[in-house]
Amino acid sequence: MKFETVDDIFTTNSKLHERFRTTVSAVTDDEAKVRPDGEEWSIAEIVEHVSIVDAGIARICAKLLDGAKAAGKASDGSLAITEKFREGTARVANEKLQAPDRVRPTGEVSIASALATMDATATGLEALREDFAKVDLSANTFPHPFLGDMTAAEWLVMYGGHQARHAAQIERILEKIRQ
């Protein structure tokens, strides 16, 4: 996807978040606990993982935003989405990645609780939307475990992309379970 503005990212992320919620809303309690062959996590664990990652991305974005504000450089309206980021996300799009320990699910969080955390995170990011649009987000970066250094705008794109990746995974798992 090509993003022209911060608003484009937020609009897309809102749609991806809704898709994730819609996908998860179709999952029964029994289906949520099943771990089909070839899958490391159950659907409930995937939702927990996404909630953990979302919260982490929000913290990273807030930190990068604070750095951009401190630098005092206003946005010229363009986004800092690098070709390296685009190529990296395309490269790992269909790879099964091993989540770092810090974002692995415990298996002790309900889907409802994980979704509530995700909703709170989305609300928190939305509260920062205007600030993201005002400052130059290109100077400060934070490393991603698979993609290297990323700007705040790239982390915002990753936020929605990560939800989309796991919504598709949940849909595949549901197909396996329901066969």
Does pLDDT of 1 surpass 80? Answer: no
Residue 32's pLDDT is 97
| CA dist 130 → 4, 14, 125, 142, 179 (Å) | 15, 15, 10, 21, 46
List residues bridging with 141 in a β-sheet. Answer: 151
At 87 the pLDDT is 92
Domains and their CATH numbers in the chain: 6-177 (1.20.120.450)
**Cross-strand bridge partners of residue 74:** 135
DSSP summary character for residue 144? E
Q: C-alpha distances in angstroms, 32 versus 39, 47, 53, 152?
A: 13, 9, 19, 33
Average model confidence (pLDDT) for the chain? 94
Residue appearing with tokens 């939702």: 47
> What pLDDT, in 10s, does the model give residues 6-19?
999 999 999 999 99
Across 129-143, b (16+ Cβ under 10 Å) vs e yields eeebbebbbbebbbe
Q: What percent of the chain has pLDDT over 90?
A: 81
pLDDT band at residue 154 using 50, 70 and 90 as cut-offs: very high
- Would you state the pLDDT for residue 76? 84
pLDDT tens sequence across 29-82: 999 999 988 899 999 999 999 999 999 999 999 999 999 999 999 998 778 798
Is 178 in a helix, a strand, or coil? coil
Q: Is the pLDDT of residue 143 over 90?
A: yes
Highest-scoring range by mean pLDDT, 77-81, 100-104, 154-158: 154-158
Q: Report yes or no: 16 and 166 within 8 Å, Cβ to Cβ.
A: no
